[in-house]
Structure 1
Amino acid sequence: MRIVFLLPMGIDRPSGRRYFNIARGLVRRGWHVRLLALHPDFATCYQRRFVADGVEVWYVGQMHARKTGNTTVRFSPLALLWVVIRSTLGLIWGVLCSPADYYHLGKPQPINGMAAIIAVCLLRRTSFFVDCDDDEVTANRVTAGWQRAMFAFWQWLLPRIAVGLTVNTRYLAERMARAGQPCVIVPNGVDSRHFTAPPLAIRAALAAALGVAGRPVIAYAGTLALHNHPVDLLFAAFGQVAERHPSAVLLLIGGGEDLPLLQAYTAQQPWRDRVIFTGHVPYSMVRALLALADVSVDPVRNDAVALARSPLKIIESLALGVPVITGDVGDRAEMLAFGAAGVVVPPDDAVALAVAIDELLNDPARRAAMAAAAAAHARRYDWDRLAEQWMAIYEAV
């Protein structure tokens, strides 16, 4: 079978890794898979066609925002219109060059949505599938009302004209699927064969280099963008934990557009010397840094962003045997094996986060039991296993 994905992002973005890993699983089952993707900085993308682990990747245009390292550049309305036109044409050209048995949209967004309707439905005269892994209206930082309306329209339209849906949470399944429409839930996952803790000697050297050897480490791995990642809850919690654990360290793995704001806030706190910002790091470094943690935290509010997400940071922490503390929103309790692999607390509650962190740091035996359960539970979310679930959507039509 031949399948083509239409992606409004690059494969190095969190959602992009979802589709790339699903594609790898399909390739291992004998499928031919091509990803037509938009690059975060297309002007500097010099390798626009390549094969990785058997998956063909074609970069055909620019994402709706330019992202380089910790910096996100928003286009002016006129420049954005030009980006949308060029990238839509790039995806249309990619579809016309890519005859396939199935076409699957990664995310119901305007650029890949328009390309699918024009190139797949009108020119190829076939249908497409849609994957929803976020609430696109609230998850994307859009300031203008017309932009929010545009994202809302395409998120409403595309699932309704798709022949079938894949989603990553029960919330999205209930919200997006029409009666009688095939819908398969495929959460985010981890490559459990390769996403493992480095050897002890390497971890010890890294801990020494960061100055965290022998100290309790509380980690956050993800984007530093406050509009959809409420890291401010974690900072408020750490301010309380820091008083009771004078040697504890907060390790923030990743960059984002609010990194300077969070650094400025931290500089004014009495515990400023106990916070480490790594900034943007290659994905290959994430596992080494996250493996240093005693606990990992996924701070959330009770909103559509959190309900719609199946956080990679949770599954990747579990794969490394790092217990997770998060808010009890959406599918998170199930992801933590209902308390065996971590702790869920009320969302929007920095005090509850602080209490949970404090209790785990004070109880090494409980942390060790959770670490073992986490590593075992993470195998249920192996990408190869999830690719098998994903295939069910094509069998359902």
Structure 2
Amino acid sequence: MRIGIVCPYAWDVPGGVQFHIRDLAEHLLRLGHEVSVLTPSDDETPLPPYATSAGRAVPVPYNGSVARLGFGFLSAARVRRWVHDGDFEVLHIHEPASPSLGLLACWTAQGPIVATFHTSNPRSRAMIAAYPILQPALEKISARIAVSEYARRTLVEHLGGDAVVIPNGVDVDFFARAEPKAEWLGDVLSPDSAGHGPTIGFVGRIDEPRKGLPVLMKALPRILAERPDARLLVAGRGDEKEAVDGLPGELRDRVVFLGMVSDEDKARLLRSVDLYVAPNTGGESFGIILVEAMSAGAPVLASDLDAFAQVLDGGEAGELFPNEDAEALAATALRLLSDPKRLEELRERGSRHVRRFDWSTVGADILAVYETVADGAASVAAEDRPGRWAARWGAVRG
């Protein structure tokens, strides 16, 4: 099957949507499909062989963050050329309601379109205001996917229609097979030979408040008061000095900033930590990092966002604390770090639960949607063909 996938956000800026599209494309390629991805990117940005640049991305405030989107005359021209040259059997657009390539592709495309909605935002005034502009494009979509029930709800309430829920996918075995890294390992029961006790992990953009690092930093003094041998490992881009501004000076060496890490090192980090903390404060429709952490066997402690609670099976596959409550975060983290049996239980439950998010399952569900819309388009074309020939014959006879 010839499949075109449209990424709305700049390829070189890490994010759940980009990772999902990358992994989906590579999964489909492994299955033998022809796949092309169109994405905003600077022309000098290295892209995988299956990806094509639609031009430079522009930073735009979007859904509580700053998204780097592709729009404008150059992008529109590249979208038209890519759609025409690709002659795709199915076009898969991600975030078609965002002011980016997906919307441009909707306007251009004529064949079957599948759209995936990632955003969870119950009060999006921008989406409501833009509906008259979006409606003609959205009416061309053949099938809709939402990555969670909360993304589906945002779609239904703001744009109408409905969607099948298919979660983001993860290569579970990639994380499960990763080797822990010696310098990131600690010991929950007592400090190791290097004086390291338990390690807590955080992965996310440091300078994006909704990722919740300020909440974790606020909880850290209490955690370190009872477990002075604990360390916090932080992976992600941002201002490291600003991140620890609120910490007493003597505690700052207990925070280790790793900067941007490769996928391999992210997996090794998640395999190494005693507890992964996701203190995100809002704007999450899924929670791919939770799935990655569970895949690596890391016990998870997360804020009780609706999307996170769903990913963690209502708290069965990981523990939850009240959103933005640093005291509750600290108390729960300390309880878990003093209870190796509970940590092991969370590891086992998470490892079982996470299998439903593996690409072997998620990819099959997405392919089923592709096949449905492609078969539907073929049936319509076949039914329409006799009518067109009859009309032409009548015109000739007339």
TM-score by length of 1: 0.79
Partner of 1:142: none
User: 1:198-217 residue pairs with structure 2 within 5 A?
Assistant: 198-199=178-179, 203-205=181-183, 207=185, 214-217=196-199
Out of 17, 20, 24, the position equivalent to 1:18 is 20
Are the counterparts in 2 of residues 164 and 393 from structure 1 also a CA contact under 8 Å? Answer: yes
The answer to whether the aligner puts 1:57 opposite 2:51 as a matched pair is: yes
Out of 316, 339, 342, the position equivalent to 2:318 is 342
Partner of 1:5: 5
Name the structure, 1 or 2, with higher relative contact order (CA <8 Å, separation 6+): 1
- Alignment partners' CA distance in 2, 1:149 and 1:101: 32
Rate the CA distance shift 1:151–1:236 in 2: closer, same or farther, 3 A: farther
User: What is the root-mean-square deviation in Å for CA atoms of aligned residues?
Assistant: 3.3
Partner of 1:255: 237
Are the counterparts in 2 of residues 250 and 274 from structure 1 also a CA contact under 8 Å? Answer: yes
Q: 1:223 deviation in Å? A: 1.8
Q: Give the letter aligned to residue 94 of structure 2.
A: G
Q: 1:23 deviation in Å? A: 2.2
Post-superposition Cα deviations, 1:53-103, rounded to whole Å, max 9, x if no partner, equal xxx22223222239xxxxx9999xxxx99x633233322222222111111
Out of 349, 371, 374, the position equivalent to 1:373 is 349
Partner of 1:357: 333
- Alignment partners' CA distance in 1, 2:54 and 2:327: 46
Are the counterparts in 1 of residues 8 and 100 from structure 2 also a CA contact under 8 Å? Answer: yes
User: 1:237-386 residue pairs with structure 2 within 5 A?
Assistant: 237-256=219-238, 258-266=239-247, 268-301=248-281, 303=282, 305-306=283-284, 309-386=285-362
- Alignment partners' CA distance in 2, 1:283 and 1:245: 30
Q: 1:356 deviation in Å? A: 1.1
Out of 101, 109, 121, the position equivalent to 1:112 is 101
Q: 1:225 deviation in Å? A: 3.3
User: 1:167-186 residue pairs with structure 2 within 5 A?
Assistant: 167-177=146-156, 181=161, 183-186=163-166
Partner of 2:87: 99
Q: Provide the secondary structure at the position in 2 that maps to 1:131.
A: strand
Are the counterparts in 1 of residues 5 and 91 from structure 2 also a CA contact under 8 Å? Answer: yes
Partner of 1:128: 113
Q: Give the letter aligned to residue 352 of structure 2.
A: A
Q: 1:269 deviation in Å? A: 4.3
Post-superposition Cα deviations, 1:323-378, rounded to whole Å, max 9, x if no partner, equal 11112222322322333331012212111111110110010111112112222222
Q: Give the letter aligned to residue 91 of structure 1.
A: V
Rate the CA distance shift 1:17–1:362 in 2: closer, same or farther, 3 A: same
Post-superposition Cα deviations, 1:159-194, rounded to whole Å, max 9, x if no partner, equal 555222111110111221489956221222321222
The answer to whether the aligner puts 1:44 opposite 2:24 as a matched pair is: no
Aligned residues: 357
Q: Give the letter aligned to residue 329 of structure 2.
A: L
Rate the CA distance shift 1:233–1:100 in 2: closer, same or farther, 3 A: same
User: 1:219-238 residue pairs with structure 2 within 5 A?
Assistant: 219-238=201-220
TM-score by length of 2: 0.79
Gaps of 5+ in 1: 67-71, 140-147
- Alignment partners' CA distance in 1, 2:199 and 2:128: 39
Q: Percent identity?
A: 25
Higher alpha-carbon deviation: 27-36 or 360-369: 27-36
- Alignment partners' CA distance in 2, 1:152 and 1:259: 38
- Alignment partners' CA distance in 2, 1:212 and 1:85: 58
Gaps of 5+ in 2: 187-192, 374-398
Q: Provide the secondary structure at the position in 1 that maps to 2:302.
A: strand
- Alignment partners' CA distance in 2, 1:156 and 1:357: 44
Q: Give the letter aligned to residue 104 of structure 1.
A: H
Rate the CA distance shift 1:152–1:358 in 2: closer, same or farther, 3 A: farther
Q: Provide the secondary structure at the position in 2 that maps to 1:5.
A: strand
Out of 52, 76, 94, the position equivalent to 1:88 is 76
Q: 1:152 deviation in Å? A: 6.4
Which runs of 4 or more aligned residues in structure 1 lie more than 6 Å from their structure 2 counterparts after TM superposition?
72-75, 136-139
Q: Provide the secondary structure at the position in 2 that maps to 1:223.
A: coil
Q: Give the letter aligned to residue 91 of structure 2.
A: Y
Partner of 1:191: 171
